[in-house]
Amino acid sequence: MPAPQPEPWLRQTHTDIPVVHRAVLHALEQAGEDIEAWCKPLPPEDLESRPHGLPSVTFQLRHIARSLDRLMTYAEGNALSDEQLSALRAESEASSTAAELFAEFEEALGKTIQRLAALQPVDLDTPRGLGRAGIPTTVGSILIHVAEHTQRHVGQAITTAKVVAFLRHSFYSSSAELL
């Protein structure tokens, strides 16, 4: 087994882009790697599991993907579309397949990275409005929130994945003992 590589922020990559954009990019790369390692191996039925009332891995991944789209829309200075608002309302609905769930997540990361690149020339102190109320913020603040919000939900997805895996293992271990 190859030695694990350092986290993205320690790999000395993307040194040609501004530091805030680079930090967000590294957070997104870390998110993709962590979800690949901890959530993708789960059996499809476990993705919907809500042990002890925790939000499912499916919800967390869908929320990450769709909130990235919303936050980047605000960073770009735009209002949310009807389609984005509809997607927001549907975040809690079950996914069709595991493949579609992971495809949505990975596509959102890729599109966010492209949109992040397009925002490099924008002054980070440029004012922006957030949400329907137009809460005052800046491009830089939204980009930083993209990173920390994504990481927060990745952590929650990993925690749920670990609990689900533990419970599955405990169930099968206990069942084998009964036989």
The pLDDT, as a whole number, for residue 91 is 87
Q: Please, which residues have CB within 8 angstroms of residue 74's CB and are 6 or more apart in sequence?
A: 80, 128, 129, 130, 131, 137, 142
Let me know: does 56 contact 48? Beta carbons within 8 Å: yes
Q: Name the token pair of 105.
A: 């997540």
According to DSSP, the β-strands at 127-130 and 135-138 are antiparallel
pLDDT tens figures, 132-163 = 999 999 999 999 999 999 999 999 999 999 99
Cα 60 to Cα 142: distance, rounded to the nearest angstrom:
20
pLDDT tens figures, 21-57 = 999 999 999 999 999 999 999 999 999 999 999 999 9
pLDDT tens figures, 75-124 = 999 999 999 999 999 988 876 799 999 999 999 999 999 999 999 999 99
pLDDT tens figures, 63-87 = 999 999 999 999 999 999 999 999 9
What is the pTM for the complete model shown?
Answer: 0.91
CATH node for 16-178: 1.20.120.450
Burial of 151: CB neighbours in 10 Å, binned 0-12, 13-18, 19+: middle
Please give the DSSP secondary-structure letter assigned to residue 97: -
Domain spans, the chain: 16-178
- Which band of pLDDT confidence, cut at 50, 70 and 90, is reported for residue 11? very high
Torsion sign (Cα): 48, 53, 59, 64:
negative
- Closest to 140 (Cα-Cα) out of 114, 122, 153, 117: 122
The pLDDT, as a whole number, for residue 178 is 42
Q: Please, which residues have CB within 8 angstroms of residue 73's CB and are 6 or more apart in sequence?
A: 79, 80, 81, 84
The pLDDT, as a whole number, for residue 172 is 55
**Which stretch of DSSP H or E encloses residue 69?**
helix 57-75
Cα 102 to Cα 37: distance, rounded to the nearest angstrom:
12
Beta partners for residue 137, in sequence order: 128
Is it the case that residue 179 has pLDDT exceeding 50? no
